[in-house]
Chain A
Amino acid sequence: MESKLRAILPDAELIRMYEQMVLSREFEESCAEQYTKGHITGFLHLYSGQEAVAVGATAGLHRDDYILSAYREHAQAIVRGAEPRRVMAELFGKRTGICKGKGGSMHLFDPNLSFMGGYAIVGGQFPIAVGLAFAAKFRKEGRIVACFFGDGAANQGTFHESLNWARLWELPVLFVCENNSYGIGTSVARASALPDIHRRTCGYDIPSERVYGMDVIAVYEAIKWAAEWVREQNRPFLIEAITYRFRGHSMADPGKYRSLAEVELWKSRDPVPAFANRLVEEEIATEAQLEGIRQQALVTLADAVKFAEESPWPEDSEVWEDVYA
């Protein structure tokens, strides 16, 4: 059989994307366990179900393009290259975490990865993305800014202000909406005058596209194309990826607002096994190989948890650090 996937990406790249999806899923499941054990405190928003978006999108960007996201961002950071053990340590509040254990789950940052947060304020990231894009264009460095956000965030004023700025000044921002149908317990239909988020850009004359966000390759292709367009044209673009979160909004959410049937339907579209099946069907990987990848992810996570557990707490005096230069 002729492989469609191979025509898009080399085998090694496809396998790497699968590894990232599995690692992202297992990372989140491991976080859930650590939260239940009391090792992770505060709010914990898990990404399970949405992996195809982070993995497909990151693969479609350049390594030095900026990424901004919200508070459901562990996978975004890990896929970009953050070490799982240092992300886990951050969630535990340990000193070895990627933000010294002082920011936790919702505020991941890593300049070495051009990963510019981690925003707990819904919609907080939009204007910052615009500012980064302004600077990137100013410096003529060919970098673009990928700004991830949820369907709920599209209702904040900052979204509209930022679309206007980005178009007015022709800034290289790729807005990526992860439409998972809900902002906490409020469905898009109940919160958005125009539930098709991608169509909202017409008021700002910004082109946009919708993509099926449970298909990692579809996301990859859409983002790859859009990112190059943004880079070449120096203009904004918006992609709306239709996806679903399998777990509650946060670990504290019983999720009463959606039916079991709906959740089950979306789980049947799980992007991880869907991609696995394609890899096997197109003879890019064997079942055994994929199982090996899963086992490897479990080993990585066991190490991450152990590392986080054994790492020291920050010293009390560290509360004073990094407030001013």
Chain B
Amino acid sequence: MTQLNMVQAINLALREEMARDDRVVLLGEDVGRDGGVFRVTEGLFEEFGPERVIDTPLSESAIVGAAVGMAAYGLRPVAEIQFLGFIYAAFDQLFTHAARIRTRSRGRFTAPLVVRTPYGAGIKAPELHEESTEAFFCHMPGVKVVVPSGPYNAKGLLMAAIRDPDPVLFLEPTRLYRMVKEEVPEGEYTLPLGKARIARPGGAVTVVAWGSMLQRVMKAVEGYDAEVIDPMTLSPFDGETLLDSVKKTGRLVVVHEAPLTCGLGAEIAATVAQEAILHLRGPIIRVAGPDVPVPLAKLIDHYLPSPERIRAALDEVLQY
């Protein structure tokens, strides 16, 4: 088995899916000849040609909208948006069409497409190149939202996303692209969408985190009897794994980079409050970004949930 980083793992998933299924096509800005701005699609243009690896004009709305049409016709488009912050012109196509073609046509047209995009903090640019707005997309019935946390699950999740009969937004944490290498097997394996993973078993407190925050949480909880849940699919959310864990630990901390208000932590907290309130032994704590646009450089360190803030939340709920 080979050690791959997340960029390589995603590249491998794309290559294997394209080889397996000739309906799979890639489209996006600079994905072809240039191999993608983060080099995720490197070599695929050479291998599969310009008909299947399509360099598009700079038009996000048309990239996602065209993917809907391609998918409805029977192709399996995988669109790339260069940064999540550039998706908003295409938000319309994703929300108003991709998400509801199935419902609208009463199941007779569908949009089995994937939109891949890097997201979250990691390159020390401000605002749109750094933000985590996953919650917008979790508020879109009909679209699935997936966030891998490492090379191994990135490959398995992407393969599952490409095979999924519904539209999937695949958010790739920019910070993790080249941060870690893992054993990533060649060949088929899929990880089911909608199924969370226990990243670390524990008994005293449940911590939920995804993407690049998961890495930070894993370090921060060292020395605590914490169970860490990596949802991997944010929507639809695996409530069962969450509730099983909280019923066992009686405590919950949710960590995300996104701003606190109406972040996914609110939904997770509400689910637990509704379904497991009698199991709780302390308040549910959200450790999140402040409700402001992501600032530049030095201030980012202040913006992101720090290991200290994560541990303070653990201490608070454990000592409650």
Contacts and interface: CB of A to CB of B under 8 A. Distances in A.
The finding on whether chains A and B are genuine partners in a shared complex, rather than unrelated, reads yes
A186 B56 CA distance: 9
B296 A122 contact: no
Given A152-B58, A155-B59, A184-B34, A107 B127 contact: yes
Interface residues of B, number: 35
Given A42-B129, A183-B29, A257 B55 contact: no
Contacts of A59: none
A168 interface: no
B128 interface: yes
B297 A41 contact: yes
Contact of B89 (A41, A157, A256): A157
A213 interface: no
A164 B295 CA distance: 35
B89 A104 contact: no
A131 interface: no
Given A41-B125, A155-B59, A316 B34 contact: no
B34 A191 contact: no
B299 A185 contact: no
Interface in A214-236: none
Interface in B178-229: none
Given A93-B298, A319-B299, A186 B55 contact: yes
A103 B130 CA distance: 12
Given A121-B85, A319-B302, A93 B296 contact: yes
Interface range, A side: 35 or more
A115 to B, nearest CB: 18
Given A256-B34, A323-B291, A42 B59 contact: no
Given A156-B89, A186-B30, A42 B297 contact: yes
B311 interface: no
Interface string A286-325: 0000000000000000000000000001101011100100
Contacts of B59: 155-157
Interface of B: 29-30, 33-34, 37, 55-62, 85-86, 88-89, 123-129, 290-293, 295-299, 302-303
Q: Which 10 A-B pairs have the closest CB atoms?
A: A42-B125, A93-B297, A185-B34, A41-B124, A155-B57, A152-B58, A316-B302, A191-B57, A104-B296, A93-B296
Given A93-B296, A120-B128, A320-B292, 11 more contacts: A41-B123, A41-B297, A42-B126, A93-B297, A102-B126, A152-B58, A156-B59, A183-B58, A185-B30, A185-B33, A323-B291
